[in-house]
Structure 1
Amino acid sequence: MPVYVYAITDADHPHRIDDLKGVGESAGPPTTVEGRSLKAVVSDAPADLRPKRREVLAHQAVLDRLLEDGAVLPMRFGFVAPSHDEVAGALDENAENYARTLERLAGRLEYHLRCGRDQDHVLREILTESPEARRLSEATRRESATHGDRMALGELISQEIVRRNDDAAREIVDALAPAAAQVAPGETRGEHFLAVSFLVDRTRATEFADLVRAEAERRGDGYELSLHGPLPPYSFV
């Protein structure tokens, strides 16, 4: 029978999950599958699994509870294995690698940072600091402005935005990385020029959050730094 898999843990993890509801309309509390040295947290796989809000929250609630008591190898929402026996076999076959990863993650949590910039702010910065951008901007406002002037201004501003965002991303990561055990770059989307995850020791979580706040204050209103966490360490398994 297919099983929904939430996470892998050490065999001695307490698994305080009896009061939680698993993923799926009719799911009961999650249970465990035991290997020789590891355990997996599972429940019966729903027949029609969809990423509805209730299901995603149920998945997250199990991981959050497990993280309170020890290291966890989290599975992404929707991971289904063919059977309990297949899960137990995978635990034993990959026990050495899983154990190393659990050891590396012990006492650590993931924090995800996204950074964006106000476009008017960066344009003002470019026009203030770049004589060539100012010259082209002034040229485009004249009646004699050419299509070439407008194209040159657009290209220059585009290049400057990329360069400045790349510089800011590097500086932000450099400022925060000393408080993290590991850093994993993420995929930037939309208005964000930086998406990055940090693996942080629980004992340094407050210090890390304070560093993010200090960096946001240093950069001012033209920047938006959004910190999400603590999270299961998806980016580091």
Structure 2
Amino acid sequence: MPVYIYSITGKQHPLRLDGLGGVGEPPAPLRTVTDGPLCAVVSDAPDDLRPKRRDIGAHQAVQVRLMADGTVLPLRFGLTAADDEAVRLALEERAEEYMDRLQALEGCVEYNLKVSQDEEALLRQILQESSTARELNNVVRSSTASRDASLALGELVAQEVQARQAALGSGVLEALRPFARDHQSSQPTGSDFLNVSFLVTHDQDELFLTTELSVANQMGEDFEFRLNGPLPPYSFV
């Protein structure tokens, strides 16, 4: 029967799974598959597995419980294998890789930071600081404006936005990177110009959070910092 895989841990992990249920309706009982120094937390996989709220919550609850007691490789929602033997073989064949990742993640959590900037404030800043943008803007607003002037202004503003936000993102990253063991940048979406995950050790946690708050305050009200965490270190598995 197909099995759903939640996490991989070292065999020495306490694996306190009492009171937790797995994915599916009714919740599938959790169990473990062990090979050598590694252990996988699994359950039977439901036939109609989809990213429903209850199942995502059950997946996350397993990660949080395991993280409270030791290091864990949290696997992404939806990972399945043919059966318990397939899971055991994966633990055997990739033992060195999994052990290396467990060592790299020991004592760590993930924080994800997204940053956006008020678009109107950014446009005002560009017009204040760029004489070329001001001149083009005045032409566009005049009754004799041509389509070429509008296109030129749009291109200039887009270039300015990209350059300024790239510099701002680099500055935020440089300020926080000293307090993280590792980081992974992702493509920002929507109005965000920064989307980065940090792997932070417990002994650097307070310094990381204090620095993030300080940077947000320094950049001011035109910026929105959205910090999510501590999280299972999905981005670093």
What percent identity do the matched residue pairs reach?
A: 46
TM-score relative to the length of structure 2: 0.97
1:210 aligns with 2:210: yes
- Give 5+ residue unaligned stretches, structure 1: none
Q: Which amino acid aligns with 2:48?
A: D
Partner of 2:6: 6
Partner of 2:23: 23
Q: Deviations over 1:173-200 (max 9, x none)?
A: 0111001000111121111111111000
Q: Deviations over 1:192-219 (max 9, x none)?
A: 1111110000122122111111111111
Equivalences for residues 144-155 of structure 1 within 5 A? 144-155=144-155
**Aligned-partner Cα distance in 2 for 1:141–1:37:** 70
Equivalences for residues 192-231 of structure 1 within 5 A? 192-231=192-231
Q: Which amino acid aligns with 2:163?
A: R
1:41 aligns with 2:41: yes
1:17–1:29 Cα contact (<8 Å) kept: no
**Aligned-partner Cα distance in 2 for 1:114–1:83:** 38
Equivalences for residues 94-133 of structure 1 within 5 A? 94-133=94-133
Partner of 1:63: 63
2:187 is paired with a residue of what secondary structure?
coil
- The alpha-carbon deviation at position 28 of structure 1 amounts to 3.8
Partner of 1:142: 142
- The alpha-carbon deviation at position 40 of structure 1 amounts to 0.2
In the alignment of these two chains, the number of paired residues is 237
1:27–1:43 Cα contact (<8 Å) kept: no
- The alpha-carbon deviation at position 144 of structure 1 amounts to 2.2
- The alpha-carbon deviation at position 145 of structure 1 amounts to 2.0
- The alpha-carbon deviation at position 152 of structure 1 amounts to 1.2
Partner of 2:175: 175
Q: Which amino acid aligns with 2:80?
A: V
1:41 is paired with a residue of what secondary structure?
strand
2:188 is paired with a residue of what secondary structure?
coil
- The alpha-carbon deviation at position 108 of structure 1 amounts to 0.3
**Aligned-partner Cα distance in 2 for 1:29–1:113:** 34
- The alpha-carbon deviation at position 23 of structure 1 amounts to 0.7
**Aligned-partner Cα distance in 2 for 1:187–1:62:** 28
- The alpha-carbon deviation at position 27 of structure 1 amounts to 2.7
1:71 is paired with a residue of what secondary structure?
coil
> What is the RMSD computed on CA atoms of the aligned residues?
1.0
1:4–1:80 Cα contact (<8 Å) kept: yes
**Aligned-partner Cα distance in 2 for 1:145–1:79:** 57
**Aligned-partner Cα distance in 2 for 1:118–1:165:** 12
1:77 aligns with 2:77: yes
**Aligned-partner Cα distance in 1 for 2:191–2:29:** 40
Partner of 2:158: 158
2:29–2:44 Cα contact (<8 Å) kept: no
**Aligned-partner Cα distance in 1 for 2:128–2:227:** 30
TM-score relative to the length of structure 1: 0.97
- The alpha-carbon deviation at position 160 of structure 1 amounts to 0.4
